[in-house]
Amino acid sequence: MNKKRVAIQGTRASFHEEAAYKYFGDDIEIVECVTFKQTCEAVKHNKADYAVMAIENSIAGSLLPNYNLLQEFNFPIVGEVYLHIQLHLLALPGVKFEDVKYVHSHPIAIRQCNDFFEDFPHLQVLEKTDTAACAKNIRENNLTDTVAIANLTAAKMYDLEVLERRIETNKKNFTRFLILSKESVESKDNNKASICFQVGNTIGSLAKVLNLFVENHINLTKIQSMPIIGKPNDYNFYVDLEWEKENDYDHCMRKLLKVVVNLAVLGEYVKNPMK
Ligand SMILES: O=C(O)C(=O)Cc1ccccc1
């Protein structure tokens, strides 16, 4: 059987690759993409079967532009995976911290280490496409004044030393990744959904929705509002829901249809633990 082709934002040894392996196992083909949009395009043009997309981080918060990609490409979410993110400063062997002038990394990784860099204001922190590519660049261009914030897989792959370990602001640092595909997966095991809707601009309209969740024993795990582009006063609400009994969810969704506008189910899938 052909291997599953999984598009990731970033290169080999990036956190997206780690997330892909954690979700699918090792027997997959990785399709490297520079941007999140390119991962969706890879699925659209049949260059990949799945895309893995970070959506939120426990220190840096939501990746808001990725909510717009969910809308734009309209691919169903077929799964999720959480990754414990541990960030290290990697340098060429022999480089001393005093010699370092530049820090390269992905913006999500940089935001997770803000506290560390407050103590070293002379360091120039530069945003790049992905953590592993920064490690690769240091090795390939023999950069002795630059460090990368990346993981231990990148350190090993590019033969770099760990100059500082675990520089993330909070050690309980998790990123949630969504798994997107062209086809949704209907399964009795599904116990989580991501939905999107708008509510009228009237008193209590969102409260009505929240009450529906309570009445139907639905656990809300995330709510994110995003302005609708071109309609500055209107918002999309992105909500993640979990249930124990499928009937509760079905019943709740039927009721929800009557109180919200433009209800869309972005995906139904099996919830994954944060570990
Ligand atoms: O650059 C990477 O390695 C990525 O996969 C992006 C990222 C960075 C930090 C946490 C989660 C995802």
Residues 177 and 68 in one domain: yes
Nearest Cα neighbor of 255 from 212, 222, 226, 221 is: 212
Domain membership of residue 14 (yes or no) is: yes
Which of 129, 153, 181 lies at the terminal end of a domain, its last residue?
Answer: 181
Rounded to the nearest angstrom, the distance between the alpha carbon of 195 and the centre of ligand 1 is 25
User: What is the full DSSP assignment across 66-103?
Assistant: HHHHHHHH-PPEEEEEEEE---EEEE-TT--GGG--EE
The verdict on the CB of residue 54 being under 6 Å from ligand 1 is: yes
Identify whether residues 58 and 125 lie together within a single domain: no
Average pLDDT of the chain to the nearest whole number:
96
108 lines ligand 1 (CB under 6 A): yes
Does residue 21 sit in the same domain as residue 71? Answer: yes
The candidate with the shortest Cα–Cα distance to 167, out of 225, 241, 209, 116, is 116
Nearest CA to ligand 1 atom 3: 14
Residue 75 and residue 27 share a domain:
yes
Residues 154 and 218 in one domain: no
Helix-helix angle 246-259:205-215, to 10 degrees: 160
Asked if residue 61 and residue 177 are part of one domain, the reply reads: yes
176 C-beta closer than 6 A to ligand 1? no
Q: How many domains does the chain have?
A: 3
Same domain? 263 vs 133: no
Question: How far is the C-alpha of 26 from the C-alpha of 140, rounded, in Å?
Answer: 27
Is position 37 within any domain?
A: yes
- The per-residue pLDDT for 261 is 95
CATH code for the domain in which residue 206 is found: 3.30.70.260
Q: Judge whether 50 lies within some domain.
A: yes
Determine if ligand 1 sits within 6 Å of the CB of residue 16.
yes
Q: Which atom of ligand 1 is nearest to the CA of 131?
A: 1
DSSP state of 166: -
- Pocket flag, ligand 1, residue 85 (CB < 6 Å): yes
Q: Range of 147's domain?
A: 88-164
Tens digits of per-residue pLDDT, 195-251? 999 999 899 999 999 999 999 999 999 999 999 888 888 999 999 999 999 999 999
What confidence tens digit (pLDDT) does each residue in 44-103 have? 999 999 999 999 999 889 999 999 999 999 999 999 999 999 999 999 999 999 999 999
Q: Which atom of ligand 1 is nearest to the CA of 133?
A: 1
pLDDT in tens, 170-185: 999 999 999 999 999 8
Whether 186 has a pLDDT exceeding 90, the answer reads no
Mark whether 115 and 246 lie in a shared domain: no
pLDDT of residue 133: 97
Which residue among 8, 12, 15 is best mutated to probe the pocket of ligand 1, counting the most ligand atoms within 8 A of its Cβ? 15
| 269: confidence class by pLDDT, cuts 50, 70, 90 | very high
pLDDT score recorded for residue 103? 98
Other CB atoms within a 10 A radius of the CB of residue 275 amount to: 7
157 CA from centroid of ligand 1 (Å): 16
Task: For 84-97, write each residue's pLDDT tens digit.
Answer: 999 999 999 999 99
**92: nearest Cα among 155, 14, 45:** 155
Answer yes or no: is 186 within a domain.
no
Most informative mutation of 6, 14, 18 for ligand 1 (most atoms within 8 A of CB): 14
Does 274 map to a domain? Answer: no
